């Protein structure tokens, strides 16, 4: 599935995987986020942190009309305030998708799939 944008110059098709990669990259840059988790951990057999090439497994893109909704499954660092990390991820993803693709995001839903203790 892809998003279609029509403008004066023609039609642009943007794949959901591209949006997921952009959103996942933005989320990883936020303080307190250790990594992305798979949205179907049991089915995929992935119980650890996803690498950069698998961000699309931890992000769900939905479009209803002109509204874009993003669901993200993250793993946070132990000792961080989860609500603050989630808020920062929401803000960063909305800003990055808007500036990169020119699309406004209606909602970014954060699902925390785990807390990881970072070794010193």
Report the number of distinct structural domains present in the chain: 1
Question: 45 or 59: which carries more pLDDT confidence?
Answer: 59
Per-residue confidence (pLDDT) for residue 51, from 0 to 100 = 59
DSSP state of 52: G
What integer is the mean pLDDT of 17-42? 85
Whole domain around residue 24: which residue ranges?
2-116
Alpha helices in 29-81 (DSSP H): 41-44
Q: What is the DSSP string of 1-35?
A: -EEEEEETTEEEEEEHHHHHHHHHHHHHTSTTEEE
CATH number at residue 33: 3.30.70.1350
């Amino acid at each position: 599935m892809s998003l279609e944008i029509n403008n004066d110059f023609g039609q642009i098709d943007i794949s959901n995987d591209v949006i997921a990669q952009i959103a996942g990259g933005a989320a990883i840059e936020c303080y307190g986020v250790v990594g992305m988790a798979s949205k179907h951990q049991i089915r995929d057999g992935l119980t650890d942190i996803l690498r950069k090439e698998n961000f699309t497994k931890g992000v769900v893109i939905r479009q209803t009309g002109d509204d874009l909704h993003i669901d993200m499954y993250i793993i946070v660092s132990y000792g961080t305030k989860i609500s603050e990390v989630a808020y920062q991820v929401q803000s960063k993803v909305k800003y990055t998708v808007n500036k990169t693709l020119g699309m406004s995001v209606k909602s970014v839903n954060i699902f925390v799939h785990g807390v990881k203790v970072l070794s010193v």
